[in-house]
Amino acid sequence: MVVLGLIWLTNLYNFMDGIDGIAAGEAISVLLGAGLILFLKGETNTALLTWLAIFPVAGFLYWNWPPAKLFMGDSCSTFLGLTFGILALITATQGKMSIWTWVILLGAFIVDATWTLVTRIVTGQDWRAPHRSHVYQKLSPSKAQHKKTSILYASTTTLWLLPIGFYVEMTESTPFFYLLTFIPLTIVAYKLRAGQNAQ
């Protein structure tokens, strides 16, 4: 199960790297949030290491911010996805932060990529073929919307998912809070017909 989770996280981050600024912006938001939760739990050293990982991503984002002059590509996006998976495993096995808190923080990417892929499979599409039916692609049909969409994803992580992740981490809450995270995101994916090409 762990191996499958790592494989999926690695690939979904690659799937989500499709417009200027979105993958790097999301990475910074997740790292900031995870570091803050770790810091407030007293895991100062791990928090600082998590925050240090922001600097190379921020350096890249400077050039990748819309309109981008530099692009991430498969090797970088898959590396980021795998890095998040490894960080989640390390902090979970050391009892510093639950793996489910990482799942919450990465919820916007997880729901978008998972819903889109499952929809494409269920509707009989060639799920391996290139497409433009992710939620973020529906929100940014042209380059003019890239900045707005990238900010929306980063803001969702910071303002919606981080508070839920913090509460769940500090209180060891029931699965209700996982539903609180994913139901609104899933509704958005459904309403925007993610995974379905425009008719």
* Residue 198 maps to a domain: no
CA distance 30 to 157: 7
Question: Backbone phi, then psi, for 186, in 5-degree steps?
Answer: -70, -40
pLDDT category of residue 198 using cuts at 50, 70 and 90: low
Structure letter (DSSP) for residue 161: I
The residue segments making up the domain with residue 42 are 2-191
- Confirm whether 171 is domain-assigned: yes
pLDDT in tens, 116-157: 999 999 999 998 888 999 999 999 988 889 999 999 999 999
Global confidence as pTM = 0.94
Residue 130: enclosing H or E segment and its boundaries? Answer: none
Query: Is 11 a known ligand-binding residue?
Result: no
**Domain count along the chain:** 1
**Residue 74 assigned to a binding site:** yes
Report if residue 167 sits inside a domain. Answer: yes
- Domain-embedded: residue 42: yes
Domain annotation covers residue 155: yes
d(CA 123, CA 173): 36
Q: Which amino acid is located at 134 in the chain?
A: H
Distance CA 106, CA 157 (A): 7
| Residue 78 within a domain | yes
How far is the C-alpha of 171 from the C-alpha of 98, rounded, in Å?
11
What pLDDT, on the 0 to 100 scale, is given for residue 199? 45
199 domain residue, yes or no: no
Query: d(Cα 134, Cα 139) in Å, to the nearest integer?
Result: 9
